[in-house]
């Protein structure tokens, strides 16, 4: 960002529980934008969440996401404004430490030399966006992958809503298998491709822009032995039937982006399509579900 420009800030005052949920959720699900998120407690014990955007965001999309993550009352309190621009991305990521999840370590360029030789390192360039693995949903998916790899060797992998490509890269490096990664957002697809190149996984990770599973490329590469879908409850519910069509018998399906109280709703959507619960991984307020296709 140039110092002469302004940034857009979205600001919400709410309780601590909603603030922590939103700080995680906004960072994870708006990786297509240059966004920095902060949450802090005021003197009145109320919490403030501030999200800074390098480019003017789609305000309706931001408000809809806040409503999905924290409820309509919190979304109604959301206000947008402008502030003097600075390098919010670098400032917000500067203090982040590497994240360990099973055999994986997600890190920035400044910690590249500190990744142990027996770990699978996944480097996410700070300038390229969020999706660093600090969020409970991403860590849950990495832990799920670690457990699956210990007992199985999936050969065809799909990552729906790939974002920064963390899960696709992790699967490619752990399994040495091809991964098809899709996202509805063009910037996310570009970022995932660049991160795959940065991590030496570009020959195995194919990224494409697509909404849901309608693209012919998904059908051409199906059936898949391992599928990741780290998004939100509503789109996960819509994907249950089309996902069942591209999942191989016995496939593992990892669902995340779910609050703990949304687990039953997700399972209710997937059980009629031949999926059973194999494992649940709760982290903070989030839960990752590992399903098997009968």
> How do residues 81-91 score in pLDDT, each as one tens digit?
887 655 555 55
In a shared domain, residues 49 and 166:
no
49: CATH = 3.30.70.260
Model pLDDT for residues 10-37, shown as the tens digit of each residue: 999 998 888 888 887 887 776 544 677 7
231: CATH = 3.40.50.150
Q: Which of 92, 110, 126 is the last residue of a domain?
A: 92
User: What's the domain range around 252?
Assistant: 141-293
Write down the pLDDT at residue 287.
94
Per the domain annotation, does 119 fall within a domain?
no
Nearest-angstrom CA–CA distance, 246 and 105: 30
In a shared domain, residues 73 and 209:
no
Q: Is the pTM of this model over 0.75?
A: no
Model pLDDT for residues 142-154, shown as the tens digit of each residue: 999 999 999 999 9
In a shared domain, residues 40 and 175:
no
In a shared domain, residues 63 and 171:
no
Task: State the total domains in the chain.
Answer: 2
In a shared domain, residues 283 and 175:
yes
Per the domain annotation, does 134 fall within a domain?
no
In a shared domain, residues 172 and 61:
no
């Amino acid at each position: 960002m140039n110092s002469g420009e302004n940034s857009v800030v979205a600001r919400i005052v709410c309780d601590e529980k909603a603030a922590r949920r939103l700080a995680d959720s906004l960072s994870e699900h708006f990786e297509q934008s240059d966004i920095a998120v902060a949450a802090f407690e005021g003197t009145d014990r109320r919490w403030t969440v501030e999200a800074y955007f390098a480019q003017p965001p789609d305000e309706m999309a931001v408000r809809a996401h806040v409503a999905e993550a924290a409820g309509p009352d919190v979304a109604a309190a959301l206000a947008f404004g402008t502030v003097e621009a600075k390098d919010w991305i670098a400032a917000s990521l500067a203090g982040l430490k590497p994240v360990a999840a099973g055999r994986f370590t997600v890190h920035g360029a400044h910690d590249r030399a500190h990744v142990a030789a027996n770990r699978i390192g996944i480097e996410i360039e700070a300038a390229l966006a969020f999706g660093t693995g600090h969020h409970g949903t991403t860590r849950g998916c990495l832990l799920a992958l670690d457990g699956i790899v210990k007992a199985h060797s999936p050969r065809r992998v799909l990552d729906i809503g790939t974002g920064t490509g963390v899960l696709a890269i992790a699967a490619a490096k752990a399994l040495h298998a091809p991964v098809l990664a899709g996202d509805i957002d063009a910037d996310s697809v570009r970022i995932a491709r660049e991160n795959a190149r940065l991590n030496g996984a570009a020959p195995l990770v194919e990224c494409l822009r697509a909404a849901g599973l309608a693209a012919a490329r998904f059908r051409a590469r199906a059936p898949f032995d391992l599928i990741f879908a780290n998004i939100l409850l509503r789109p996960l519910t819509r994907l249950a039937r089309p996902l069942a069509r591209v999942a191989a018998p016995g496939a593992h399906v990892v669902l995340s982006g779910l609050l703990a109280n949304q687990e039953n709703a997700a399972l209710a959507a997937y059980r009629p399509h031949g999926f059973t619960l194999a494992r649940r991984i709760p982290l903070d307020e989030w839960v990752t579900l590992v399903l098997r296709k009968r």
